[in-house]
Homo-oligomer: A and B are copies of this chain.
Amino acid sequence: MIPMVEVRRGGVTESVHHGVAVVAGADGRLLHAWGDPDLLTFPRSSLKPFQALSLVESGAADGLDAAHLALACASHRAEPFQVRMVEEWLGRLGRPESALVCGPALPMGEGDLADALRAGGKRRVFHNCSGKHCGFLAAAAAFGAPEGYERPDHPAQAHWLGALSELIGQDAAALPRGTDGCGLPALAMTVADAARAAARYAALAVQDSRREAAIRRLLAALREHPDHVSGRGRPTSRIVAATGGRVVLKEGAEGFVLGFVPEMGLGIAVKILDGASRGKMAVFATILGRLGLLPAERAAELARAVEAPVLDSNNRAVGEVAALALG
């Protein structure tokens, strides 16, 4: 176990996050491993770019633009522009909000949350996975099975599991399984296997040209619309901008981040062992420095920029969340 993040108050360390981080190549080789690469965990929403292969390869994305694909990969914050797009997409599909399996939720931003509560409270379109669920609704229709897309044996689930099987070189349907926050199946895999899958995705290391085109389209969407993938001004957008789009990424709940580096054919997986979100993006930025994707000083600056300071309730900074150097 490697200490990766310190939370300091008044200069004194108050809490520490340990983690595992792996950089893999498309050949499956691990270029770096901090902590145990064989740690089994759930990449959670970091798998959305893989899940979206059902949407694209089914043909259901043919009339959609890159922003829709980004939204299908998103863990969004229910910012108004994101909610409008989900509503518009449901309209195109001719489906009601109740067709979304993800449960009612509230927006994440303080102002949006207040607006939502004043307007009536929780809604399914506000759920951070509602874009993904639109994608599955679209794919399910294209597969001729519009209902039940949440079932592990539904064609829309089986399809992306097949794609993931190719990318991880093992039967993804046989991986340990739980249920994600949004009600869809969640897969467990090692941090190393998650990094390998990302590397092969980034390198377009697949047999079928249709799949290659689908991945290429999804990588472009993640690069062009990071605001849709997370939210405006969020760490995901800052990291894509800082690397000029050379790196794209998708975070997952419980401290996961998955990075894709097409030009190097690399995948980067970070898991904060305790499941915290804070610090994980700073660890990710630190790794970009180690890989030479950013100058060391720029990586350190980015690591600071993507973590909010520790504030008191009068909004004074009273501490910081700092990524530690990786040995």
Question: Which residues of A line the B interface, CB within 8 A?
Answer: 1, 7, 9-18, 40-42, 101-105, 113-114, 117-118, 121, 127, 176-183, 186, 188, 254-255, 272-276, 312-316, 318-319
| Chain A interface mostly | loop
> Could you say which residues of chain B place their CB within 8 Å of the CB of A9?
42, 178-179, 186, 188
Which of A103, A179, A183, A255 has most chain B Cβ within 10 Å? A179
> Could you say which residues of chain B place their CB within 8 Å of the CB of A272?
274
Considering the chains assembled together, what is the distance between the CA atoms of A7 and B105 in angstroms? 22
> Could you say which residues of chain B place their CB within 8 Å of the CB of A181?
312-313, 318
> Could you say which residues of chain B place their CB within 8 Å of the CB of A255?
15
Known contacts: A182-B313, A313-B105. The answer to whether A40 contacts B13 by CB under 8 A is yes
Point out the residue from B10, B11, B103, B121 that lies within 8 Å of A312, measured CB to CB.
B103
Known contacts: A15-B41, A42-B9, A117-B114. The answer to whether A183 contacts B316 by CB under 8 A is yes
Point out the residue from B15, B102, B117, B313 that lies within 8 Å of A275, measured CB to CB.
B15
Point out the residue from B15, B103, B312, B315 that lies within 8 Å of A274, measured CB to CB.
B15
Considering the chains assembled together, what is the distance between the CA atoms of A274 and B1 in angstroms? 13
Task: Kindly provide the distance from the CB of A320 to the nearest chain B CB, expressed in whole angstroms.
Answer: 11
Q: Which residue of B lies closest to A315 (CB)?
A: B103
CB-based contact B14/A41 at 8 Å: yes
CB-based contact A178/B11 at 8 Å: yes
Point out the residue from B102, B182, B318 that lies within 8 Å of A179, measured CB to CB.
B318
> Could you list 22 examples of A-B contacts with CB < 8 Å?
A1-B1, A10-B177, A10-B178, A10-B188, A11-B176, A11-B178, A12-B42, A12-B188, A15-B41, A15-B273, A16-B273, A18-B18, A103-B315, A113-B117, A114-B117, A179-B312, A179-B316, A181-B312, A183-B313, A183-B314, A272-B274, A274-B274
> Could you say which residues of chain B place their CB within 8 Å of the CB of A312?
103, 179-183
Q: Which residue of B lies closest to A102 (CB)?
A: B313
CB-based contact B10/A179 at 8 Å: yes
> Could you say which residues of chain B place their CB within 8 Å of the CB of A113?
117
CB-based contact B275/A127 at 8 Å: no
> Could you say which residues of chain B place their CB within 8 Å of the CB of A316?
179, 183
Q: Which residue of B lies closest to A175 (CB)?
A: B12
Considering the chains assembled together, what is the distance between the CA atoms of A186 and B42 in angstroms? 36
CB-based contact B178/A319 at 8 Å: yes
Task: Kindly provide the distance from the CB of A72 to the nearest chain B CB, expressed in whole angstroms.
Answer: 18
Considering the chains assembled together, what is the distance between the CA atoms of A293 and B72 in angstroms? 52
> Could you say which residues of chain B place their CB within 8 Å of the CB of A14?
41-42, 178, 188, 254, 275
Q: Which residue of B lies closest to A113 (CB)?
A: B117
Considering the chains assembled together, what is the distance between the CA atoms of A11 and B177 in angstroms? 9
> Could you say which residues of chain B place their CB within 8 Å of the CB of A319?
178
